[in-house]
């Protein structure tokens, strides 16, 4: 029977469409009939419908052959998706199609090889071993006695395949027009590109040799990678084995089906992630099992293979590890690297979809329930999309969330689905995360140097600002080679000028991109120093008083006898609310991402100690206490105040956030590893660290966490933005000159500007007239303003410098933020040059530290002043203020020496790297070394599992 004897392309297309309509109407009618049928009989009705429709599909596929057989083979492996009736019948397509006549086979062999059958073979078995969509195979013996398998392509199959591809393309185009959310064009386009290659047996032979060579290079592999044991026949070779669908033989030989499928999965993980060259057709018909222990899998048929570029291979590995870690940032970064674009910001749904691909496989008995759960989840996701875009019911059905789908992913996802179907068919449960992870990790780790010794560009190539910076870079290289640093930024100011601005290392353990000056590091409790500065700005602007009762500003805060808690208690960590959020975050740590829930919880909490009597670090509650006060006093969003107060005046746009806005993926770094520090809350001490340390980066790297407003711990900034902030504070609020042009890109040049919701309507609070506060004079430089900052008239008790010594700084001829007149005002220094200031109080340092006139507002002997940690020398002298973070990042300033420094790291530590850096810088500048960085500790904690970048 000639393949095209029954009709042309249009008749084939009509047969496909007709069958699709018949099956569709059959199921729709059954849905209506089901409503009037007893529940006990419904399962039987559906089973019969599946059986008759599966027979219809099988009959048509056998009749049409060609590409439709490939589709049937694919469907036959999806026991996790299709009912048993389809799987049982479509299995026949794996290698049991009606064979071609021997005359046709002999004719093809003689035509291709130019020799007669007698000249080629001593023996040729007429009954084929298997018949598939493109070819059939016969066992034979060559004239030299070698046992071989002869694969013979069907006559005319090339024409049929190409015509069927056109048919499939037309059908997909029609579906995309009728139902845009089911646009499969990227899949069919990739199939049209790859499928014809299967028709070139010379191409298949070379593919076989390549995969065989790759699998044989085990001696050069990473020692940590699991061994892969599979057999691949030579191009001219016969291997005897058991078919995977021969359950009786597998049982008779004692084959462990779980180990068998795990080994196949490992082989494909190696092909994809390590080799970047893999077999794209792992259906059961393309596998055998050797008949000798240890019953090794034999992989056949390399007609359909896929070659991945190095960048795509890394992106796929990164996507897998992002799924394994639940790291939304890494997932979206992987999408961007592979060219996958989404039409809207739905990272949670994207993560769900990827998790579906890599989820543990299920046996057939659980497949139906699993598919129902996935269908329900898809319905929920579409409702979310509908709400986000305000779509009507008809519009959401036509919405496709994918804007660009790279072709390389098509064969990759096909392989994942076929492997899942294979495990379901074999009735085994496979944990893909555990099996594939070592291979995904290896490909990323082997593409990243372990440090500067192997990477000449490890230190970003920018000119050094000083000899000190050159010395610092030598130290960073030393620490990098010792594997103490993954990625780092260091920036320092001295007397208002930049003296250090260095970036080094890579964005993450699995991300080889270099750290740039504007890369954003998560800095944890460093954030508290920024939040405290915002509160002091409101005080400086007469919108708030340090001795004001918090309940007077924030009426909801009054319950549980919190009337006595003043603003200065909050800043000094003496409010007694140090555990105010402990029970909330213990119940569900992710509740800390809910701003309103946290504020409500704080407002209803009860103090554990009397205000002002005990200083206990408010490591979680501090930020929301300050945040609640900030929003209630200002009537604005927390982020709006942050931008108005510091971001715009300092020109650090795009380089300092508390809560990352959507779209900020390019410059983000993520956390890995951790070492130790002993000045933190008890939950982070060595006794508990083994249980908690691995969860800190994993939770912090989650995108919904990084987007949340966590004013205690969710700052994301560059070191140069943080150093510029402290350089301004050390000079009493004077804005430093524009940042040095030696650093590229220019500070504040990031194009992204976050948007905020509409302003809150200010609430009337007893004792505070909000309207009056906002209409009060904003002449920051006036004498009245200076007098109203809580009686700050005495000489500073910090250091020996007078106010002029740390506020005198010439700037450019005009104020750097004329658009923000209420934030930074102009003044004149002693040289009659214009300066711009954020704060007007000449004793603002006393206010930060709780010194001088403010000394009665803090608990004596404590580490904290009013919002900032006091920076002291070993002899107890206070030299400045700042705040460090859990992961090792820090920012502080030395008032007497007009010095400010920031260090940001992404390999979490408890301070040894930062300590070495601060020691070097202070020593070279001959300025006091803070006691915090003079302990000489070098505690290291190595995590068993690396954390995704």
Q: Worst-scoring range by mean pLDDT, 161-170, 231-240, 276-285, 318-327?
A: 161-170
Read off the pLDDT of each residue in 226-254 and give the average, rounded to a whole number. Answer: 89
Non-local CB neighbours of 868 within 8 Å, separated by 6+ positions = 529, 532, 848, 849, 881, 882, 883
3-state DSSP call for residue 593? helix
What average pLDDT does the chain have?
Answer: 79
Task: Give the C-alpha separation, 366 to 432, whole Å.
Answer: 17
In order of 50, 79, 820, 885, the CA distances from 838 in angstroms are 74, 66, 10, 25
Task: Give the C-alpha separation, 528 to 518, whole Å.
Answer: 21
Query: For residues 333 and 603, which has the higher predicted lDDT (pLDDT)?
Result: 603
What band does 905 get if pLDDT is binned at 50, 70 and 90?
A: very high
How many Å is the Cα radius of gyration of the chain? Answer: 34
Query: Quick one: tokens of 592?
Result: 């800390």
Read off the pLDDT of each residue in 869-882 and give the average, rounded to a whole number. Answer: 94
pLDDT confidence of residue 451: 76
Query: Quick one: tokens of 512?
Result: 């080889």
What band does 475 get if pLDDT is binned at 50, 70 and 90?
A: very high
Q: Which uninterrupted H or E stretch holds 135?
A: strand 135-142
pLDDT tens for 675-695 read 433 333 333 333 343 334 344
Strands (E), 56-126: 121-124
Read off the pLDDT of each residue in 489-508 and give the average, rounded to a whole number. Answer: 94
pLDDT confidence of residue 681: 38
Query: For residues 22 and 758, which has the higher predicted lDDT (pLDDT)?
Result: 22
Query: For residues 456 and 149, which has the higher predicted lDDT (pLDDT)?
Result: 149
- If you write DSSP's letter for every residue of 212-244 in order, what string do you get? HHHHT-GGGS-TTSPP---B---SS----EEET
Query: For residues 472 and 589, which has the higher predicted lDDT (pLDDT)?
Result: 472
pLDDT confidence of residue 743: 81
pLDDT confidence of residue 777: 27
- Return the exposure string of 15-25: e unless at least 16 CB atoms fall within 10 Å of the residue's CB, then b: bbeebeeebee
Task: Give the C-alpha separation, 280 to 304, whole Å.
Answer: 5
Q: How far is CA 145 from the centre of its chain?
A: 57
3-state DSSP call for residue 20? helix
Task: Give the C-alpha separation, 174 to 454, whole Å.
Answer: 54
Task: Give the C-alpha separation, 573 to 531, whole Å.
Answer: 14
Read off the pLDDT of each residue in 649-668 and give the average, rounded to a whole number. Answer: 81
Query: For residues 566 and 804, which has the higher predicted lDDT (pLDDT)?
Result: 566
What band does 450 get if pLDDT is binned at 50, 70 and 90?
A: low
pLDDT confidence of residue 399: 63
pLDDT tens for 370-403 read 767 766 777 777 777 777 767 776 666 666 666 6
> Is the per-residue pLDDT at 196 higher than 80?
no
Query: For residues 349 and 570, which has the higher predicted lDDT (pLDDT)?
Result: 570
Look at residues 671, 698, 665 and name the one whose alpha carbon lies nearest to residue 331. 665
8 A C-beta contact, residue 896 and residue 905: no
> Is the per-residue pLDDT at 2 higher than 50?
no
Catalytic residue check, 275: no
Read off the pLDDT of each residue in 439-463 and give the average, rounded to a whole number. Answer: 80
pLDDT confidence of residue 765: 34
Q: Worst-scoring range by mean pLDDT, 103-117, 174-188, 260-274, 426-440?
A: 174-188
Task: Indicate the pairing of strand 497-508 with strand 487-494.
Answer: antiparallel
Task: Give the C-alpha separation, 760 to 740, whole Å.
Answer: 38
pLDDT confidence of residue 16: 78
pLDDT confidence of residue 787: 35
Task: Give the C-alpha separation, 139 to 349, whole Å.
Answer: 50
Query: For residues 895 and 218, which has the higher predicted lDDT (pLDDT)?
Result: 895
3-state DSSP call for residue 778? coil
8 A C-beta contact, residue 255 and residue 246: no
pLDDT confidence of residue 808: 24
pLDDT confidence of residue 488: 95
In order of 109, 129, 140, 237, 332, the CA distances from 143 in angstroms are 15, 20, 10, 14, 58
Q: Worst-scoring range by mean pLDDT, 91-95, 768-772, 849-853, 913-917?
A: 768-772
pLDDT tens for 57-113 read 888 888 887 778 777 776 776 665 577 788 788 877 765 677 889 999 999 999 999
pLDDT tens for 719-767 read 999 999 999 999 999 999 988 878 888 887 765 444 444 334 333 333 3
Query: Quick one: tokens of 709?
Result: 């407003």
Instruction: Compute the 3-state secondary structure of the chain and give helix, strand, coil in percent, each to the nearest 5.
Output: 45, 15, 40
pLDDT tens for 803-823 read 333 222 222 333 433 333 344
Read off the pLDDT of each residue in 652-681 and give the average, rounded to a whole number. Answer: 65
Other residues' Cβ atoms within 10 Å of the Cβ of residue 42: 14
Q: Which uninterrupted H or E stretch holds 318?
A: helix 310-325
Query: For residues 254 and 812, which has the higher predicted lDDT (pLDDT)?
Result: 254
What band does 179 get if pLDDT is binned at 50, 70 and 90?
A: low
pLDDT tens for 698-713 read 566 666 777 889 999 8
Read off the pLDDT of each residue in 142-165 and give the average, rounded to a whole number. Answer: 87
pLDDT confidence of residue 224: 62
- Choose the catalytic residue: 95, 281, 731, 825: 281
- If you write DSSP's letter for every residue of 700-751 in order, what string do you get? HHSHHHHTS--TTT-EEE-HHHHHHHHHHHHTTTBPPPPPPTTSSSPTT---
Task: Give the C-alpha separation, 635 to 617, whole Å.
Answer: 28
What band does 260 get if pLDDT is binned at 50, 70 and 90?
A: very high
Query: For residues 155 and 781, which has the higher predicted lDDT (pLDDT)?
Result: 155
What band does 781 get if pLDDT is binned at 50, 70 and 90?
A: very low
Task: Give the C-alpha separation, 71 to 64, whole Å.
Answer: 12
Question: What is the rounded (10 degree) CA torsion for 778, 784, 788, 794?
Answer: 130
Task: Give the C-alpha separation, 354 to 420, whole Å.
Answer: 14
What band does 665 get if pLDDT is binned at 50, 70 and 90?
A: low
Query: What pTM did the predictor assign?
Result: 0.69
Look at residues 236, 237, 235, 219 and name the one whose alpha carbon lies nearest to residue 227. 219
Query: For residues 9 and 411, which has the higher predicted lDDT (pLDDT)?
Result: 411
Task: Give the C-alpha separation, 215 to 238, whole Å.
Answer: 19
């Amino acid at each position: 029977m000639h393949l095209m004897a029954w009709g042309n392309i249009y008749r084939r297309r009509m047969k496909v469409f007709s069958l699709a309509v018949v099956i569709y109407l059959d199921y729709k009618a059954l849905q209506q009939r089901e409503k009037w049928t007893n529940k006990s009989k419904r399962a039987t009705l559906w089973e019969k419908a599946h059986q008759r429709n599966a027979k219809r599909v099988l009959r048509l596929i056998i009749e049409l052959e060609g590409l439709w057989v490939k589709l049937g083979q694919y469907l036959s492996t999806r026991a996790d998706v299709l009912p048993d009736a389809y799987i049982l019948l479509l299995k026949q397509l794996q290698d049991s199609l009606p064979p071609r006549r021997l005359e046709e086979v002999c004719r093809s062999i003689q035509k291709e090889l130019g020799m007669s059958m007698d000249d080629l073979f001593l023996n040729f078995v007429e009954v084929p071993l298997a018949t598939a969509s493109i070819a059939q195979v016969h066992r034979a013996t060559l004239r030299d006695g070698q046992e071989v398998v002869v694969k013979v392509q069907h006559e005319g199959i090339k024409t049929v395949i190409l015509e069927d591809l056109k048919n499939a393309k037309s059908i997909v185009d029609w579906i995309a027009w009728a139902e845009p959310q089911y646009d499969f064009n990227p899949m069919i386009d990739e199939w049209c590109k790859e499928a014809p290659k299967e028709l070139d047996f010379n191409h298949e032979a070379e593919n076989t040799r390549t995969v065989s060579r790759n699998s044989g290079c085990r001696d050069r592999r990473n020692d940590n990678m699991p061994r892969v044991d599979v057999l691949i026949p030579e191009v001219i070779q016969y291997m005897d084995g058991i078919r995977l669908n021969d359950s009786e033989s597998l049982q008779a030989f004692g084959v462990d089906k779980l180990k068998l499928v795990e080994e196949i999965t490992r082989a494909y993980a190696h092909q994809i992630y390590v080799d970047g060259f893999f077999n794209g057709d792992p259906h059961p018909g393309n596998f055998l099992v050797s008949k000798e222990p240890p019953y090794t899998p034999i992989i056949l048929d390399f007609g359909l293979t896929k070659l991945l570029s190095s960048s795509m291979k890394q992106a796929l590995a990164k996507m897998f590890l992002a799924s394994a870690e639940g790291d939304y940032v890494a997932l979206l970064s992987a999408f961007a690297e592979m060219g996958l674009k989404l039409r809207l910001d739905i990272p949670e749904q994207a993560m769900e979809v990827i998790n579906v691909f890599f989820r543990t496989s299920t046996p057939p008995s659980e497949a139906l329930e699993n598919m129902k759960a996935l269908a329900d989840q898809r319905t929920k996701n579409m409702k979310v999309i509908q709400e986000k875009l305000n779509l009507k019911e008809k519009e959401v059905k036509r919405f496709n969330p994918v804007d660009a789908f790279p072709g390389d992913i098509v064969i990759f996802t096909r392989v994942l689905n076929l492997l899942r179907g294979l495990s379901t068919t074999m009735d085994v449960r496979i944990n893909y995360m555990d099996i594939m992870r070592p291979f995904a990790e290896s490909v990323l780790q082997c593409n990243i140097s372990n440090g500067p010794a192997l990477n000449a560009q490890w230190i970003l190539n920018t000119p050094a600002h000083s000899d000190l910076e050159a010395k610092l870079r030598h130290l960073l290289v030393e620490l990098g080679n010792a594997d103490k640093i993954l990625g780092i930024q260091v920036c320092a100011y001295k007397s208002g000028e930049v003296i250090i601005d260095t970036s080094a290392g890579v964005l993450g353990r699995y991300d080889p991109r270099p750290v740039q000056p504007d890369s954003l590091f998560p800095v944890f409790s460093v954030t508290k120093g920024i939040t405290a500065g915002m509160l002091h700005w409101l005080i400086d602007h007469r919108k708030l008083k340090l001795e004001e009762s918090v309940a007077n500003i924030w009426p909801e805060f009054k319950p549980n006898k919190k009337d006595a808690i003043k603003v200065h208690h909050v800043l000094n960590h003496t409010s007694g609310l140090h555990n105010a959020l402990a029970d909330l975050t213990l119940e569900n740590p992710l509740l800390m991402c809910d701003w309103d829930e946290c504020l409500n919880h704080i407002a209803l909490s009860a103090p554990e100690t009397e205000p002002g009597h005990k200083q206990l670090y408010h490591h979680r509650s501090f930020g929301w206490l300050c945040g609640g006060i900030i929003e209630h006093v200002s009537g604005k969003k927390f982020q709006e105040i942050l931008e108005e107060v510091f971001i715009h005046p300092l020109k650090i746009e795009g380089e300092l956030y508390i809560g990352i806005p959507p779209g900020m993926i390019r410059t983000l770094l993520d956390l890995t590893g951790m070492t130790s520090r002993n000045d933190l809350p008890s939950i982070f001490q060595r006794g508990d660290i083994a249980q908690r340390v691995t969860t800190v980066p994993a939770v912090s790297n989650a995108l919904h966490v990084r987007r949340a407003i966590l004013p205690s711990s969710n700052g994301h900034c560059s070191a140069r933005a943080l150093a510029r902030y402290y350089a301004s504070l050390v000079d009493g609020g004077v804005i430093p000159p524009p940042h040095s042009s030696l650093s590229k890109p220019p500070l504040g040049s990031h194009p992204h500007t976050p948007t905020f919701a509409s302003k809150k309507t200010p609430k009337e609070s007893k004792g505070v007239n909000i309207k009056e506060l906002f209409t009060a004079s904003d002449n920051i430089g006036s004498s009245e303003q200076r007098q109203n900052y809580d009686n700050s008239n005495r000489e500073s008790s910090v250091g020996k410098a007078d106010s002029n010594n740390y506020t005198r700084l010439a700037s450019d001829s005009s104020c750097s933020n004329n658009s923000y007149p209420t934030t930074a005002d102009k003044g004149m220094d002693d040289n009659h040059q214009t300066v711009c200031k954020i704060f007007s109080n000449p004793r603002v340092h006393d206010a930060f530290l709780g010194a001088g006139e403010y000394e009665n507002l803090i608990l004596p002997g404590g580490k904290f002043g009013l919002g900032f940690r006091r920076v002291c020398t070993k002899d107890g002298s206070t030299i400045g203020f700042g705040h460090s973070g859990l992961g090792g990042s820090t920012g502080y300033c030395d008032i007497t020496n007009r010095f400010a420094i920031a260090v940001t790291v992404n390999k979490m530590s408890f301070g040894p790297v930062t300590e070495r850096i601060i020691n070097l810088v202070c020593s070279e500048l001959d300025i006091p070394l803070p006691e915090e960085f003079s302990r000489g500790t070098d505690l290291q904690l190595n995590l068993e599992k690396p954390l995704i970048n």
